[in-house]
Amino acid sequence: MNVETLYGLGAAALVGIGLYGLIVLAHPLRKIIAFNVMGSGVFVLFGALAKRGAAAGLHADPVPQALLITAIVVAFAASALAVALIVRLIESTDSASLASDPPDGSRD
């Protein structure tokens, strides 16, 4: 198995792990971390595709790599906005619950 396929398969697993956490975890901050894991899985897959595109003396296709740099910076900005939203939610409701009826926590 070549290196690109190895990282590609790892990336697929990362997406799965992140998606599972995003659905199952209750605390919104934990959801953000899980979402970042999922996002980084997508990035690694994209990076593996860039590596497959090595040609013309370049070790990898520079177009997807440049887009990856953009993506990492934008992902940080999105996470910062999400964190600010959560901090505001807690400041105004004293709870980090995303449920529609926060006081009742015993739903299935």
Partner 1 sequence: MTGNIVSLAIVLLLLALAVWAVVARNAFLAIAGFVAYGLLLSLVWVRLHGVDVALTEAAIGGGLTGAMLIGAVSRLRGTEAAARAERSGAGVHVLALLLSLGVAATLALCVLVLPDPAPTLAPQVAQNLAVTGVGNPITGVLLAFRALDTLLEAIVLVIALIGVWSLAPERFWGGRPGLRHQADPDGILAYFARLLPPLGIVFAVYIFWAGADHPGGKFQSATILAAMWTLVLMAGLADTPRIDHRALRFGIVVGPLVFIAIGVLGLFSAGALLAYPPQWAKPMIVVVEVALLPTLTLVLGLLLAGAPARRGGGA
What residues from 4 to 33 belong to the interface with partner 1 (CB under 8 A)? Answer: 4-21, 23-30, 32-33
CB of 31 to partner 1, least distance (A): 10
In the complex, the smallest distance separating the C-beta of residue 42 from partner 1, rounded to whole angstroms, is 9
Q: Do you know the residue count of the chain? A: 108
To partner 1, the closest distance from the beta carbon of 65 in angstroms equals 5
> Taking CB under 8 A as the rule, does residue 100 contact partner 1?
no
Token pair, residue 32, equals 């953000």
CA distance 93 to 91: 6
Is 44 a binder of partner 1 (CB under 8 A)? yes
> Could you say whether residue 35 binds partner 1 (CB under 8 A)?
no
Contact flag: residue 58 with partner 1 (CB under 8 A): yes
What is the crossing angle of helices 28-52 and 3-24, to 10°? 160
Q: Is 48 in the site for partner 1 (CB under 8 A)?
A: yes
For 63-92, b/e burial (b = at least 16 CB within 10 A) is ebbeebeebeeebeeeeeebeeebeebeee
Q: Does 69 bind partner 1 (CB under 8 A)?
A: yes
CA distances from 54 to 18, 46, 57 (A): 29, 13, 8
Say whether residue 55 binds partner 1 (CB under 8 A). Answer: yes
